[in-house]
Amino acid sequence: MSLVETSKGKDTKDAPQLVTLTFEDALQDSTLKVPSVLMSAYRNPNGCPIVATWVVQTDGTDFNLVKQWYAAGNEVANRTMTHVGNPGEVGNRNSISANADIPLDKLSGFRAPFLKYSEEMSAILGKESSSQHCSYHGRAPRRFGAGGRYLAARNFLRHYNGNRAPFGIYLTPANVGGATQLYRDLLKHASSLHDVWFVTNQQLLQWMQDPVPATELAAQPYLKCVVA
């Protein structure tokens, strides 16, 4: 059952289909091209540009681009400074805040390098008041064959036609390569549906704390358009 169904007594089909699009590693001219190609043409049902979360490592990052990304209404989340595990979480977060002029309390998400999570890392993040850790160590193919579009569309529709559980698209821009058109087709199809919303990880958490049906989502303050 969906969160809307269980907490509000609504039918599953009343729930919005929330999609989280995330990118990771250094944010620089070459890596920013992927989200620019994927996201620029699409809008949420309220007419606002779709948004995403970037999990930033500071090594190799252009902080002017981080500022632009954040100012456009996207989320910036934390990694480690050099894509190596402990230590580095705290230094990376402080560096992003200082160099990109983003308040520390807005840098509340974290993803572990190589998705390898540990007890020590959990303790550090607890002290840093991180509200969400996106570090599931699953496996996915690096290359998609002819059936890639079908696989991506089928997985999305399983959510949309099922219990409307949030659908995550997790990308490393440097590795997207020839799959760019596949993801663009997926975003085009998803954004054409009237009750599908692309949200940041933090916006997803805000909805989960007080889930509302799709018909009420446009009125939520956290989904208002951001004028950069």
Mean pLDDT of the chain: 82
Q: Which residue has the higher pLDDT, 228 or 186?
A: 186
Cβ 214 vs Cβ 16: under 8 Å = yes
Q: Residues 143, 146, 151, CA angle at the centre, nearest 5°?
A: 75
Structural domains of the chain in order of their starting residue, each with its CATH number: 3-215 (3.20.20.370)
Residue 177: what pLDDT? Answer: 83
Q: Which residue has the higher pLDDT, 150 or 221?
A: 221
Mean pLDDT of 85-114: 74
From the number of C-beta atoms within 10 Å of its C-beta (0-12, 13-18, 19+), residue 184 rates as middle
Ranges 6-15, 65-74, 157-166, 203-212: which has the least confidence: 6-15
- pLDDT tops 50 at residue 112: yes
Q: Which residue has the higher pLDDT, 146 or 89?
A: 146
Ranges 70-74, 76-80, 128-132: which has the least confidence: 128-132
How far apart are alpha carbons 165 and 30 in whole angstroms?
Answer: 32
Mean pLDDT of 108-132: 54
Residue 136 pLDDT class (50, 70, 90 cuts): very low
Find the Cα–Cα–Cα–Cα dihedral 79, 152, 215, 165, rounded to 10°: -60
Ranges 23-37, 112-126, 211-225: which has the least confidence: 112-126
Residue 75 pLDDT class (50, 70, 90 cuts): very high
How far apart are alpha carbons 4 and 8 in whole angstroms?
Answer: 5
Residue 142: what pLDDT? Answer: 54
- pLDDT tops 70 at residue 4: no
Q: Which residue has the higher pLDDT, 157 or 177?
A: 157
- pLDDT tops 60 at residue 123: no
Residue 1: what pLDDT? Answer: 40
Q: Which of 26, 53, 165, 31 is nearest to 108 (CA)?
A: 53
Give the rounded percent of residues in the chain with a pLDDT score beyond 70: 72
